[in-house]
Structure formats: structure tokens, C-alpha cells
Structure 1
Amino acid sequence: MRYSFGITDYSLPLYIDNLSNNWEQEDVERKKGYPYVHWLQSIKGSGMIYIDDKEIELKEGEGILIDRDIQHAYHALGTKWVTAYFTFGGELITEMLATLSIKKFVKIEEPDQELKTFVDLCYRDIQRNHVDIYQTTVMVYKLLVLIKKNQIKNKFDVRLTEEIIDPIVEFIKEEYRNDLKNEDFVRQTNYSLQYILGVFNECLNSSPRKLLTDYRVRKAKELLITKLDLTVEDIGKEVGFNTNSYFIKVFKQRERMTPGRFRESIL
């Protein structure tokens, strides 16, 4: 069964679009992606998922989180594929995914029991208690934290995290205003650039430069709301963008609106 929420307040920080705990999965092809973030989990059988140039088999028990607007397709491997899914969005979803270092998609190969049963428990709780759209914010937040916890347990080598990922992430947070180069990331770890990029791609489906850009946009959004005396151009320079045109271009790509329009929509 499927449960869909009639979303009327799109200003909520996080909200559920729809979910199902037992869905006989049909073939899906989304050339423009899906407008909400999408958690898909194999309950019975398995399926093949296509994202970018990657083929990802989702075996029974495994799950995958796919970001919004990411081109993808999937189909059953075999005669029957039963899934659970949980789709969600919100005003803070971009910041949440960036904070959790989730980019495009993340596959969880060995989810713990709490994540395995999460969608089913949410579905049953909604049925019993008639949970409204405002209460679902907590459910979305919990799912993201569980995915992050399981991503670390499943994929992260602790040594690589401590020696490569953590130093670069902290460096970005401290120096994002400056004109950072790949060589700066190399100096933080003493590993080769090729190796650093491989670790970031494997663990985060991202790169240091992408994390830097996402962090700059995040800080720009904070300033657009809190520093009304600063112009859009001033804010772009403040967070490390060399030109106003590039700042506007990047901001629009990630937020689907210009910085000026974002400020108008919030205030």
C-alpha cells in the first residue's frame, strides 16, 4: 500500500511526499529525475538501478538514497521485486544532504535492523496515529541520520576518514572564503590528488571541490537572510566566489533560483 501526503506548506524544513512499505515494483525511467529525494529498499527479490554511467544491483535487504533531479532508471531482476520507498523534500533538504556529505546517491549494502524496518514502522505509525505533515519532519530527519550512520558503518574505512576526509572537510570550513586549489587539499593529507579523489568518490560520491562549492552556497544562503546590508555581489565575494556572474550561476544550479530571488522568497 502507498500513503501520500497532500503537501500544502512547502516552506516546511523537511516533509514526506509519500511512502510504501510493500510495493510490487514496476519498471521506472526518469530522464529528469524525481522532484523529491528518494529512499528505495529491496524487501523481496532484487533490481538493477542505473544512475549516470553506473549499474547498481539492489539485492534483498539493501537500500539506496537518490537525490532529487538525478536522472535514473530501475527494473526488477527476475519475475517479482517488492520494495519499500520513502520520498521527501523540504526547504532545508539541500543543506541537510550537504551536511551529511550525501551527493547524488548512496547505497547501503548492510543496513542495520533499525534502518531495515524504518519505512515499515513509519507506515504503521501513520496508519495508527494519523500523523500530519508537520510531524513527518522528525521522520525525515531520523531517516537521514540512520542512512548516515549506516553509510559510515558500511563504507568508510576509519583510517581514510581520519587521515583524508576529516582534514579536508575541516579545512574547507575554515578556508572556504579563499581561492582554494587542489594542491591545498593535497597539503592537508600528504596523499596524492588522484588517491584523494578516489577516496571522496568511493565514500561520499563527491569530491573536495564539490563539497567546497556546496559549503559556499550554504554560507551564502545564511548571509542572504542575516546580512541584509550586503548586496548579492558582496555576499558572493564574502563566501569565496571570484565573480558575481559565477556566484549567480552556481547558486541557481543548486537552488533552482537566483540569490536575489532566494532572498525575496525568505524575507
Structure 2
Amino acid sequence: MERIFSVLTERDISLPIFVTGVGYEHYQDHVTRKEGFPNYHLAFCEQGVGKLIICNREYLIEQKTAFFFYPNVPHEYYPVAEPWSLRWIIFSGSSVHTLLNAAGIGRFEVYMLNSPEEVTFCCNKLHKILLEKKSTSMLEASGVLYNFLANINKLIEEVNSEGDTQLIKKLNSIIGFIKNNFKKDITLEELATHAGISSSYLCRIFKKEYGISPFTYILRCRVNAAKEELINFPDKSIKAISLDTGFNSCSYFGSVFKEYEGYSPNRFRELYFMPQ
């Protein structure tokens, strides 16, 4: 399989997703792109070992590992144990971001593939389609790539720059951070930065381990703190408690509290202090 790049027409570029190139590097060279690459880029290691440096993180890219990044994300990758062989697909389109976001794929990702043959099949099929150079080739290639990306979560298990053994430490660190900061506005990006992982990976590992999203856990921490204040400070207003525990709106606090506890904050307080 050789490298092949698409000759794009205006009709091709108007597609929601289109393939700009596909190829295979038996001996992958050292690549440094300080300004990033203009297209979305997916690469898959078939043999050897290499290293990817992206966003101040380092990843070992070995057999059955794939890496992906958005356009214009600075990066560097190079072989460690040769031959380092990579298959790659580069693509673009107006709907790519929406599709990747729905699949939970962030600005860059590193994956261990549980079905690497699916990637090889996709690359070979795209190469064959583009090689035919028919008027409908890009339309066909677009459908193949769209279907592959829409189902990519079935093929992957994400890894991080420190290895899977660090997973529990990262989760404990996230839980500790939330418990110390839940009264503030915490963003998903802030949690991901704290843990040193991508936002999409954070959501996946958190929900897999705890069965809820990080945001739901934050809400539960706030409700629990509000319960303590309702009981410990019986003269404190509901509005003051809602603000003290991280809720920006008293009405929102009331609806969340009732959803989780089955009672309004006032009723919860009344039940606790009800004469025996």
C-alpha cells in the first residue's frame, strides 16, 4: 500500500467529511510539526515502537496502538524501535468536529485497539477507492470513513501517558480535587488538566469506575454539604445555604435537592427537627 492523496473538487470539499489522504509508512521518519497539521490525522502502529510528544505529554506508540489529533495541534513523533510502521488517514470536513464530539473524541487521543484489523481494513478500502479515481470515489470514501469514525468506540481502549497502573491514582486525585473545590465552579477541562488526561478520557474512566459523570458527582457533593448545613444551622436561610454549597440559583438548588433526596430543603429540615 502506497501513499495516495486526493485531488479535491468543490463538490468533494462540500461533503460533511472527506478524505485528503491515506497511506502506509514501513519505516516512519522523525516528524516535527510545531504548527500542527492542517487536517485531522489518525495513525495506527503495525510494528515497532515509537514515541509521540503532544501538548507536553509523551506516549509510547507500539503495536496495536493508534493516535489521533485535530488540525493545528503541535506535535512530534519518531521511531524508538525500528522498523516503526504506521498506517495513516488524513481527513477534513464541516461535520468532522460534530461527529468526533459525539463519539467523545477530544483534540488528541491515544488508543489501544482491540480490533486492529478493522483499521487495516478501513485503510485498505479507502486506498482502493481513491486509487480508482472515479467521479464518485470521494462520496464513497466519505461514507466509509464516516461509518468507521461513528463506530470507533467499539474498537478502542484509551491509554494515558503514564500507563494503566496510574488509573486509580488519577481517579483518587480527581475525587480529592472535587471534594476540596465543589463549592466553586469546576469545569470538565479543569478536572482533566488536574489529572493530566483528556476530557473525553476523564468522562469514560470516571463513569466506568463510579457509574456517574464527574458533574453528577459534584452535584452530589453539594447536596450532601447542603444537608449538613440544613441540620447544623437551623436558622440559616435556604438561599444562603444554596450559595454556600456551590449553587448559583436557589431555585436550581431546590430542584436538584428534591431530585436527589425526595424532599425540598425546607421539608428535609422540618422532618429532621420534627418532635418525636
Query: What TM-score do you get using the length of structure 1 for normalisation?
Result: 0.56
- 1:1-267 mapped onto 2 (5 Å cutoff): 1-9=2-10, 10-112=13-115, 113-127=117-131, 130=134, 132-151=137-156, 153=157, 181-182=185-186, 198=195, 201=197, 204-205=200-201
Asked if 1 retains the 8 angstrom alpha-carbon contact of 2:109 and 2:198, the reply is no
Question: Which contiguous aligned blocks of 4+ residues in structure 1 show a shift greater than 3 angstroms?
Answer: 124-131, 193-198, 200-203
Which digits, 9 at most, give the CA deviation of each residue in 1:97-142, with x for residues without a partner?
2222211112221331323432123323444685622222112212
Between the aligned partners of 1:116 and 1:138, the Cα distance in structure 2 is 17
Asked if 1 retains the 8 angstrom alpha-carbon contact of 2:26 and 2:85, the reply is yes
- SS at 1:133's partner residue? helix
Cα separation, partners in 2 of 1:21 and 1:39, compared to 1, 3 Å: same
Between the aligned partners of 1:148 and 1:138, the Cα distance in structure 2 is 17
- SS at 1:135's partner residue? helix
Cα separation, partners in 2 of 1:117 and 1:134, compared to 1, 3 Å: closer
Between the aligned partners of 2:114 and 2:70, the Cα distance in structure 1 is 19
Between the aligned partners of 1:114 and 1:101, the Cα distance in structure 2 is 19
Between the aligned partners of 1:69 and 1:196, the Cα distance in structure 2 is 20
Between the aligned partners of 2:186 and 2:102, the Cα distance in structure 1 is 21
- SS at 1:46's partner residue? strand
For the aligned residue pairs, the C-alpha RMSD in angstroms reads 3.4
Give unmatched runs, 5+ long, in structure 2. 160-170, 172-183, 204-214, 216-276
Q: Deviation of residue 11 (structure 1)?
A: 2.0
Q: Deviation of residue 201 (structure 1)?
A: 3.7
Q: Deviation of residue 68 (structure 1)?
A: 1.3
Q: Deviation of residue 34 (structure 1)?
A: 0.7
Q: Deviation of residue 23 (structure 1)?
A: 4.2
Q: Deviation of residue 203 (structure 1)?
A: 6.6
- SS at 1:33's partner residue? coil
Cα separation, partners in 2 of 1:13 and 1:23, compared to 1, 3 Å: farther
Which digits, 9 at most, give the CA deviation of each residue in 1:170-207, with x for residues without a partner?
xxxxxxxxxx9439x8xxxxxxx959974x94571578
Asked if 1 retains the 8 angstrom alpha-carbon contact of 2:17 and 2:91, the reply is yes
- Percentage identity across aligned positions? 17
Which digits, 9 at most, give the CA deviation of each residue in 1:37-73, with x for residues without a partner?
1111112212111001111111012111111111101
Between the aligned partners of 1:195 and 1:18, the Cα distance in structure 2 is 32
Give unmatched runs, 5+ long, in structure 1. 156-163, 165-179, 186-192, 213-267
Q: Which has the larger radius of gyration?
A: 2
Matched residue type, 1:136: A
Cα separation, partners in 2 of 1:52 and 1:197, compared to 1, 3 Å: closer
Between the aligned partners of 2:202 and 2:15, the Cα distance in structure 1 is 27
